């Protein structure tokens, strides 16, 4: 059962989750024209490698089987894409190098009736959206977990075996376990959790302490 849950979560989150600098904007118009093949090729190159240099994009496009794009054209197109907010400059934090050595994914099952029961707490929540924001912005910042754990994101899943999915980094397994058992599972509206330690990422490589699969 747990295998099927996380198989679904991996497939779902691979479709909706991206830490790249490309902002999903659909087929939004750029001034008076829609994106053409060159724009699409450049966008996908940046999505695959957010740290790519502009001068490397022409070669990357060719390797992907696309038509070669001159470097000056790449410069101009990227400037235009940034102008309409499709491509953005963002800071990236390597949490492993910052000392947060393990990464977990937690599926959360919601009890709708319990979730809707309001309380007098100032940080109370009544919806899944409010709970997701509470987990990321407040629960992970409590004294027990401050500077020990970072919630990367919380997703609401539609039509899945769980209702929410939480991705977080922790300094060690003990902190991660305490967050799941002593924090997440005790929140009103959460009926159960299923969790897994993430081992490998196609974007970031091995997520173990030293990059060695055998170190688990």
Do 75 and 107 lie in a common domain? no
Find the domain containing 129 and state its range.
102-215
Do 194 and 111 lie in a common domain? yes
Q: Is the pLDDT at 10 greater than 70, yes or no?
A: no
Do 116 and 190 lie in a common domain? yes
Do 54 and 125 lie in a common domain? no
How many domains are contained in the chain?
Answer: 2
pLDDT, residue 202, reads 84
Do 72 and 107 lie in a common domain? no
Give which of 199, 8, 213, 197 is closest to 105, Cα–Cα. Answer: 197
Give which of 106, 129, 128 is closest to 178, Cα–Cα. Answer: 106
Strands, E assignment, 82-180: 102-110, 149-156, 164-170
Do 172 and 208 lie in a common domain? yes
Map tokens 């390597």 to a residue.
94
Question: What is the pTM assigned to this prediction?
Answer: 0.69
Do 132 and 33 lie in a common domain? no
Share of the chain above pLDDT 70, in %: 78
Do 180 and 119 lie in a common domain? yes
Do 162 and 74 lie in a common domain? no
Q: Is residue 68 part of a domain?
A: yes
pLDDT, residue 88, reads 87
- Quick one: 170 exposed, middle or buried, by C-beta within 10 A (0-12, 13-18, 19+)? buried
- 3-class SS letters over the chain: CHHHHHHHHHHHHHHHCCCCCECCCCCCCECCECCCHHHHHHHHHHHHCCCCCHHHHHHHHHHCCCCCCCHHHHHHHHHHHHHCCCECCCCCCCCCCCCCCEEEEEEEEECHHHHCCCCCCCCCCCCHHHHHHHHHHCHHHCCCCCCCEEEEEEEECCCCCCCEEEEEEECCHHHHHHHHHHCHHHCCCEEEEEEEECCEECCCEECCCCCCHHHC
Q: Is residue 95 part of a domain?
A: no
Whichever domain contains 195, its CATH number is 3.30.70.920
Q: Is residue 131 part of a domain?
A: yes
The better pLDDT of the pair 16, 178 is held by 178
Q: Is the pLDDT at 25 greater than 50, yes or no?
A: no
pLDDT in tens, 119-165: 666 568 999 999 999 999 999 999 999 999 999 999 999 998 999 99
């Amino acid at each position: 059962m747990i295998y099927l849950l996380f198989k679904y979560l991996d497939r779902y989150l691979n479709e909706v989750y991206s830490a790249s600098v490309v902002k999903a904007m659909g087929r939004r118009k750029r001034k008076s024209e829609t994106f053409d093949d060159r724009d699409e090729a450049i966008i996908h190159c940046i999505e695959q490698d957010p740290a790519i240099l502009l001068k490397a994009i022409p070669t990357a496009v060719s390797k992907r089987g696309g038509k070669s794009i001159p470097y000056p054209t790449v410069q101009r197109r990227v400037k235009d894409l940034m102008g309409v907010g499709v491509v953005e400059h963002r800071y990236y934090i390597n949490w492993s190098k910052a000392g947060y050595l393990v990464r977990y994914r937690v599926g959360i099952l919601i009890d709708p009736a319990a979730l809707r029961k309001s309380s007098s707490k100032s940080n109370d929540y009544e919806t899944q959206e409010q709970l997701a924001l509470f987990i990321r912005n407040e629960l992970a910042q409590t004294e027990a977990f401050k500077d020990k754990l970072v919630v990367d994101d919380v997703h609401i899943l539609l039509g899945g075996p769980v209702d929410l999915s939480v991705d977080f980094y922790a300094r060690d397994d003990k902190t991660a376990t305490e967050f799941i058992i002593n924090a997440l599972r005790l929140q009103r509206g959460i009926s159960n959790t299923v969790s897994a330690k993430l081992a490998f990422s196609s974007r970031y490589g091995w997520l173990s302490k030293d990059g060695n699969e055998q170190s688990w």
